[in-house]
Amino acid sequence: MAEGTESSEDAVMSTRDHYTVLGVSRDASTDEIRDAYWRQVRVHSVGVEPGERLRELREAYETLTDPPRRAQYDLTSDGASASPPAPAATLPPIRPLSEPEPVVPEPEPAHHSRNPLDRLTARLPRPWRIAIDWIVTIAGAIFIVLAIKQWVINPYRIPSSSMEPTLHCARPGAGCEARLSDRVLANRFIYHFRSPGRGEIIVFDTPTVRAEEACNASGTFVKRLIGLPGDTVRYEHNVLSINGEPIKEPYIKPGRAGGRQGTWRVGSGMYFFMGDNRASSCDSRAWGAVPRKNIIGEVFMTYWPPNRIAFHAIGAGLALGFVLLVPSRRRRRSVR
């Protein structure tokens, strides 16, 4: 009795309408059939013996998604053909759907730096590498600034009236005309390529002992170069002459001439300096000529205050001084 019942159930199952098996209408599209098939597979994949049901779903799916087979099936089912339907082909078992495996990205190739510091610190922790990088950067910046000051360009401040009105000092200093002292840039390397020229404004170190005795002051001064090696400098009745030839001095303003008068012979390798404010300048008239080794550089630019910006020399030092203006202006040195 059980065997007959099981055979009848198989017959009923094999003759079930494919559209009914998938749960779609007869005019369903291929996409709708496909969606219905996978929906039914997910539902019937769970169970003790899902194989028979899945085979039935597979047969219905393959028949209805193949246009020729679907047309033949529709004709057969509509015409109630006497010939029995072909036995279902044995299909491989359908495996339940599984989640796709996650895609693991490939590791990026290691970056090899050409920086020697990066290679030396590669094994250190990241905070240590950052700290070392900052230390090296700051130390390098300080070294560059110091090197520029020592060999290229150096800033100076004008504290006295000895060069008025060409270079201002700040009131209430005696003879000063401005509210702020001028700050200037000196080209320290120009005299490695040529000799100092008459009329140039120059920064130099005074002969310490003689300057202390004559002016009670010494150190770094800024004056105008008047006498070259071998010259005879004469300053009589407020008129300057070099080797007997009068010198025009448009930079000497009325009321600024005067001071010590006399005649001086400039020795070999020596240079004679005077201030533009002759009446108040303690210069080579008091403490003598300056040796070549004491000359620091030529003043080529006034950079502060803004309304006093001016160039005092034309040449290679001017362009270089302008480029290096910002980093060099932070270092100042008082001059007399």
Q: What is 2-79's CATH topology? A: Helix Hairpins (1.10.287)
The DSSP code sequence of 40-59 is HHHHHTSSSS-HHHHHHHHH
DSSP 8-state secondary structure symbol assigned to residue 222: E
Are residues 323 and 213 in contact, defined by beta-carbon separation less than 8 angstroms? no
* pLDDT given at position 119: 75
Q: Whole-angstrom Cα distance, residue 175 to residue 190?
A: 31
- Residue 336 carries which side chain, given as an amino acid letter? R
Fold of the domain built from segment(s) 143-328: Umud Fragment, subunit A (2.10.109)
To the query of whether residue 223 is one of the catalytic residues in this protein, the response is yes
Active site residue 149: no
pLDDT at position 103: 62
- Of 162, 181, 281, 284, catalytic: 162
Identify the pLDDT of residue 112. 62
Pair 275, 223: CB distance under 8 Å:
yes
Burial 113-140 (b: 16+ CB within 10 A, else e): eeeeeeeebeeeeeeebeeeeeeeeeee
Active-site choice (223, 281, 284, 328): 223
Angle in degrees, CA 256, 308, 145, rounded to 5:
115
| pLDDT in the model for residue 29 | 86
CA dist 272 and 93 (Å) reads 112
46-49's contacts with Cβ under 8 Å and 24+ in sequence apart are 46/96
CB count within 10 Å of CB 194 equals 9
Distance CA 135, CA 221 (A): 37
**Domain locations along the chain:** 2-79, 143-328
pLDDT tens for the chain, 336 residues long, are: 444 444 444 444 445 787 888 888 888 888 888 888 888 888 777 654 567 778 888 888 888 888 888 888 888 876 654 444 445 445 455 555 555 566 656 655 555 667 777 777 778 888 888 888 888 889 988 988 887 877 788 999 998 899 999 999 998 888 888 899 999 999 999 999 999 999 999 999 999 899 898 888 888 999 999 999 999 999 999 999 999 999 999 999 988 999 999 999 999 999 999 999 999 999 999 999 999 999 999 999 999 999 999 998 765 444 454 444 444 444 444 445
